[in-house]
C-alpha cells in the first residue's frame, strides 16, 4: 500500500499560455531572485537552529518550521513560473504563506515529534542516494531557484525547454510532459524537505506524476500548534 507523503507539491496548467512569454519570465522574476537570495541565507541559519532544537527536544519549533516551509513554497512558485514546467503566466506573489488560488502550491505536514538520533545522519548520510537522483534531475546539487536554469544540464531543465518549444510552435503545452515534469519536481521537493529536517519520512523512490496529488487534501488546513 502506498502511503501519503508528508510533503505535498501541486500545480495546475493554465488553460491558455502565451507562446513567447517564457522567453522573458526569468528576467521578470529577477525581483524574486533577489528576495530569495536573502531568504535562502535565513533558511540555512534557521535549519542549523532547528537541528539543535530537534537534537535536544525532538521538536522542530513551529515558527521556524513555518518559515522554512514558506521559503520552499516561495521557491517552488518562482520555479514553476520561470523555470520548472513554466505552466503559468500568473506572476508569483511575494509571500511565504500559501496562496490557495495560485497555480503552484507546496506544503509539509507539521510533525509533532522528530527523531533526535535520525537528525544526526539523515541529511548527509541517509539522503546520499537521493542526492544522486536530484543531481541528475536538476543538473546540480541543490534546489535554489536562481540555479534551476536550462544551462544546468539536468533532466528537468531540458524537458521544461522541450515543453515550451512545443508550446511556441503549436500553441499547446504537452500535457503528458507536464505530468512527468511535476512528478520529477515532486521527487526533488520531497528530498529537499527531508534534507532540511522538516520530516523524518524518507523520500520514496517513486514517480508520482500529475499536477495534483492523490488523495487530495486542503493545503490550507494546517495543525493548530
What's the angle, vertex CA 112, arms to CA 98 and CA 100, rounded to 5? 10
Cα gap 147→164, rounded to integer Å: 19
In-domain check, residue 204? no
Cα gap 186→72, rounded to integer Å: 12
Q: How many CA atoms lie within 13 A of 145 on its CB side?
A: 29
Cα 167 to chain centroid distance, Å, stands at 23
> If we measure between CA atoms, which residue out of 13, 5, 3 comes closest to residue 163?
13
Q: Which single residue is written with the C-alpha cell 536538476?
A: 138
Q: What pLDDT, on a 0 to 100 scale, did the predictor assign at position 104?
A: 98
In-domain check, residue 180? yes
Mean pLDDT of 157-184: 96
Q: What pLDDT, on a 0 to 100 scale, did the predictor assign at position 2?
A: 55
Average per-residue pLDDT in the chain?
A: 90
Q: What is the DSSP letter of 93?
A: P
Cα gap 91→25, rounded to integer Å: 9
Three-class SS of residue 106?
Answer: strand
Q: How many CB atoms lie within 10 A of CB 150?
A: 16
Place 4 in a pLDDT band, splitting at 50, 70 and 90: confident
In-domain check, residue 170? yes
> Could you tell me what percent of the chain has a pLDDT over 70?
88
In-domain check, residue 88? yes
Q: What is the pTM of this model?
A: 0.90
pLDDT in tens, 67-116: 999 999 999 999 999 999 999 999 999 999 999 999 999 999 999 999 99
What's the total number of domains in the chain? 1
In-domain check, residue 77? yes
In-domain check, residue 202? no
Q: What pLDDT, on a 0 to 100 scale, did the predictor assign at position 190?
A: 97
Q: What is the DSSP letter of 125?
A: I
Per-residue pLDDT for 148 more than 50?
A: no
The whole domain housing 191 covers 14-195
151-160 long-range contacts (CB < 8 A, ≥24 apart) are 155/184, 156/84, 156/181, 156/184, 156/185, 156/188, 157/83, 159/184, 160/83, 160/84, 160/85, 160/86
In-domain check, residue 200? no
Amino acid at each position: 500500500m502506498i502511503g501519503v507523503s508528508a510533503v505535498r507539491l501541486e500545480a495546475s496548467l493554465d488553460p491558455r499560455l502565451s507562446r513567447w512569454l517564457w522567453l522573458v519570465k526569468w528576467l521578470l522574476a529577477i525581483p524574486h531572485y533577489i528576495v530569495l537570495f536573502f531568504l535562502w541565507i535565513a533558511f540555512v541559519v534557521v535549519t542549523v537552529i532547528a537541528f539543535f532544537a530537534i537534537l535536544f527536544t525532538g521538536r522542530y519549533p513551529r515558527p521556524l518550521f513555518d518559515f522554512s516551509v514558506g521559503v520552499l513554497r516561495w521557491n517552488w512558485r518562482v520555479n514553476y513560473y520561470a523555470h520548472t514546467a513554466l505552466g503559468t503566466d500568473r506572476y508569483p506573489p511575494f509571500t511565504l504563506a500559501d496562496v490557495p488560488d495560485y497555480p503552484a502550491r507546496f506544503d509539509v505536514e507539521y510533525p509533532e515529534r522528530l527523531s533526535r538520533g535520525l537528525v544526526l545522519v539523515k541529511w548527509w548520510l541517509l539522503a546520499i542516494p537521493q542526492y544522486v537522483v536530484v543531481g541528475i534531475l536538476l543538473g546540480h546539487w541543490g534546489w535554489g531557484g536562481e540555479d534551476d536554469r536550462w544551462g544546468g544540464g539536468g533532466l528537468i531543465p531540458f524537458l521544461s525547454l522541450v515543453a515550451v518549444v512545443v508550446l511556441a510552435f503549436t500553441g499547446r503545452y504537452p500535457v503528458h510532459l507536464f505530468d512527468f515534469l511535476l512528478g520529477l519536481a515532486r521527487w526533488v521537493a520531497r528530498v529537499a524537505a527531508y534534507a532540511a529536517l522538516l520530516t523524518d519520512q524518507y523520500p520514496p523512490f517513486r514517480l508520482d506524476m500529475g499536477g495534483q496529488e492523490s488523495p487530495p487534501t486542503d493545503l490550507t488546513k494546517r495543525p493548530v500548534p
